[in-house]
Amino acid sequence: MSTELELPFRSDTQLTEVMRLRVQSLQQRGLKRQDGERLLQPNEAVYRLDFSDQSLRFSHWTVRLSQPGRLTITATSQLWTPDLTHLMTRQLLEPVGAFWRAPGATDDTPIQCHEADAHEFGERIAELAKVRKVMYFLFAFADGCNPQTVDCSITFTVDS
């Protein structure tokens, strides 16, 4: 028997602030980023998933954009601790999840995405959940999308 488990992406404001302070510190000191370091862009924020169960199979994404815009979700591949180490480009997973609502789309128009990439991305998250309790993501907001206009979760099937 299997059940569904919907996990919401939660904004990690503390980690986002730590990453913004890193960018600010480099700018103030006139320093460059470390080779391969990935700095947080102004339109990005850190989100996390907390896995209560680790035996998961990807089922589907639930992404709601209350207005036109684009959301790109990039996962980090390892347990990343910004207080101890900087985020490196090699820690970012492919593919990314890209979701968007076109201008002029009605509220009942489904959110668009690259379905094959979104499905593969969901399966990779389920695989990583087998060895993690927490996973971090970079959410990039574009074209009118922002944290207040996004509601995002991922649903898995849990085998009992």
CATH number at residue 74: 2.60.120.390
Mean of the per-residue pLDDT values of the chain? 91
pLDDT score at 77:
78
pLDDT of residue 141 exceeding 80: yes
Both tokens of 9, joined, read 């992406």
Write the pLDDT tens digit of every residue in 22-45: 999 999 999 999 999 999 999 999
pLDDT score at 84:
64
The residue-averaged pLDDT of 91-117 equals 91
- The alpha carbon dihedral of 12, 13, 15, 16 has a sign of positive
- The alpha carbon dihedral of 118, 122, 127, 133 has a sign of positive
Q: Could you give the number of structural domains in the chain? A: 1
- In whole angstroms, give the CA distance from residue 133 to residue 79: 10
Domain carrying residue 33: 2-159
80 falls in which pLDDT band (50, 70, 90)? low
pLDDT of residue 108 exceeding 90: no
82 falls in which pLDDT band (50, 70, 90)? low
Contact 86, 37 (CB under 8 A): yes
